[in-house]
Amino acid sequence: MTHETRAAERAAALSTEIVHVEESAPGVIRVTINRPERRNALNIEVKDRVAAAVSELEQHPSVRAFVITGAGGAFVAGSDVSEMADLTPVEHTLRVTDRMFSALRDCSKPLIAAVEGYALGGGCELALCCDMIVASETARFGQPEILLGVIPGAGGTQRLLRAVGRYQAMRMLLTGARISATEAHTIGLVSEIVADGDALKRADEIAEDVARMPQLAVAAIKEVVRYGADVPLDTALLLERRAFQVLFDSQDQKEGMRAFLEKRPPVYEGR
């Protein structure tokens, strides 16, 4: 049994009614939140299921990228307020209500969000956990927690700040404003805009492209971008330079450069 078969079978085993998990293409795992009657609002069960799927499947050597999406024409319209309304601080701690966001933050494989419709509150935070965001023309983004008497609690203030800068982040956070996909793209929140209904297709295409890349280099890029973002530039440049040098000890580097010189497609083996 190959690694690919085992990953596909494990993905199927992790799939549930409210969180579908499947290998949509070789090396690509698609995770679909499936609560369309609630616009895919995040409850604790959904968050636990997504966390479990990503944490386990990223360990499989054949898994190279994840696509995160929602069913029924919405991404995630927010957290499930009916479940959250009466939670105490202790319950938040004991039930680890940020488990999904931590799992996505720690994921070593690229994550691509495919956003149709609403990505609000926890849904916007979920998209912000990803490395790329593909949005349809009518997608809407926002952090409206202030309208409920709270603030974003899963990275919304910090990731939004780092994605779009202080002034745009403060406008969204302090007013609860929803912004269009076009505006989100303009301020740097969205990677790419596509026609309505095409976000998942395009996200899958990008994930398949990434899955074909040399995986040691993919992992190095993700690591350097993550850890370099919040350190002084000189430190970040040192991290980049060290990662660059280390890759010259890999077979993928030898193959990539040899293939370039020989004018043929490279065959990467991830070593």
Active-site residues, by number, are 125, 145
Contact partners, residue 168, CB within 8 Å, separation at least 6: 187
Amino acid at 19: V
According to DSSP H, which parts of the chain are helical? Answer: 3-14, 44-57, 81-84, 89-94, 99-106, 122-128, 156-164, 166-175, 181-186, 199-211, 215-228, 233-246, 251-262
Asked if 121 contacts 102 with a C-beta cutoff of 8 angstroms, the reply is no
> Which of 90, 105, 119, 91 lies closest to 50, judged by CA?
105
For 126, the token pair is: 């979920």
Asked if 159 contacts 128 with a C-beta cutoff of 8 angstroms, the reply is yes
Place of tokens 């690591």: 223
Q: Is beta strand 132-136 parallel, antiparallel or unpaired with respect to 192-194? A: parallel
Calculate the CA dihedral of residues 31, 34, 35, 39 and round it to 10 degrees. Answer: 70
Q: Which residues pair with 140 in a beta bridge?
A: 118, 180
